[in-house]
Amino acid sequence: MTSSVASSLILAAQQATIYFGIPILIAGVTGNFLNLVVFLSLRTFRQSSCAFYLTAMSFLNIGQLISGLLTRIIINGYQNDWINSSAFYCKFRSYSLIVSALISLTCMCLATIDQYLATCPRTRWQRWSHIKVAHRVTIISVLIWILYGIPFFIYNNLIYSPITNRMICVSSMTTFYYYYAYSFVWVFGGMLPIFVNALFGLLAYCNVQQMHRRTVPFIRRELDKQLTVIVLIQVVYTFVAIIPYIIVTIIILDSMSGNDDVWQAKIQLATSITTCLYYLYFSVSFETKLPG
């Protein structure tokens, strides 16, 4: 009885990965591609530092969806192990997914902060909202996260899972999983970007609401309004997409010593669903909010 329940839950996890993951993948790649077309085709956005951050984020999101969600659908949804046949690819995939996710989240935080600075009534703060500053800050952020991801390349490997009877790409070190859960999921990839986006998004919104009291060109005012709407929408997406994933990761930490097959199958189902939700962050589309 226990075995059949566990098998049913594992099957449900596979189906969730397929039927939740594929629509998110298609919508995400299409939406981010349209984002790139709009941001790169309009001169107004090419000269905007906030738009530069969003352009970089959209580019990274496409890579994240293809290398992360697509391969997850193939491996966990269709039970195709050809991707998990190489230890090097396991390490490289884990490394690239962590690094690109953190760079994407950082770009979103920088876009939100930049929009706050651009709409700030203090002129000396507005000077930091500049395309050259955006280029330099982005390069520094990329270098930081490239170095941060090195341990994930070193410690992740292919390990046999008795629950799924397949090789999976994880770390065999319990200590490193704690590092992954608290450092990446909880702090840098979770609560910190949510807090930064929420704080500066609201501050930017307050600044925009007061712009009619200041002498600001009409085109600049409308651009700032549109970009502020974009970052506020992304704040909501970030919260909805990341919080469930954080909760499940913390639950896994508390149950790592458990050997019950049904409980592990339940965890696998919850992980499949929340991981698909997590990829919603990378599938957000802005083009419907931007001028044609």
Domain 1-283 classification at class level: mainly alpha
Q: How far is CA 200 from the centre of its chain?
A: 18
164 burial type by CB count under 10 A (0-12 exposed, 13-18 middle, 19+ buried): middle
- pLDDT per position in the chain (292 positions), as tens? 566 777 787 888 888 888 888 999 999 999 899 888 888 887 777 788 888 998 999 999 999 999 889 988 888 777 776 666 777 888 888 899 999 999 999 998 998 898 888 888 777 888 888 889 999 999 999 999 999 999 988 888 877 766 556 777 777 777 888 888 888 888 998 889 989 988 888 888 887 777 655 555 545 556 666 767 777 777 777 788 888 888 888 887 766 555 667 777 778 888 888 988 899 888 876 654 444 4
Task: Report the distance separating Cα 246 and Cα 269, nearest Å.
Answer: 15
Q: Which region, left, alpha or beta, applies to residue 231 given φ > 0 means left and ψ of -120 to 50 means alpha?
A: alpha
The domains of the chain are located at: 1-283
Under DSSP, the state recorded for 279 is T
Supply the pLDDT for residue 291.
Answer: 44
Task: Report the distance separating Cα 99 and Cα 158, nearest Å.
Answer: 20
Do the beta carbons of residue 28 and residue 43 sit within 8 Å? no
Task: Report the distance separating Cα 224 and Cα 246, nearest Å.
Answer: 32
Dihedral pair phi/psi, residue 160, rounded to 5°: -75, 130
Tokens read off for 165: 């009877």
Supply the pLDDT for residue 109.
Answer: 92
Task: Report the distance separating Cα 64 and Cα 163, nearest Å.
Answer: 27
Supply the pLDDT for residue 84.
Answer: 64
Contacts of 103 (CB under 8 A, 6+ apart): 56, 60, 141, 142, 145
Supply the pLDDT for residue 48.
Answer: 82
Residue 200: CA count within 13 A, CB half-sphere: 23
Dihedral pair phi/psi, residue 162, rounded to 5°: -70, -20
Task: Report the distance separating Cα 99 and Cα 269, nearest Å.
Answer: 25
Residue 86 three-state SS: coil
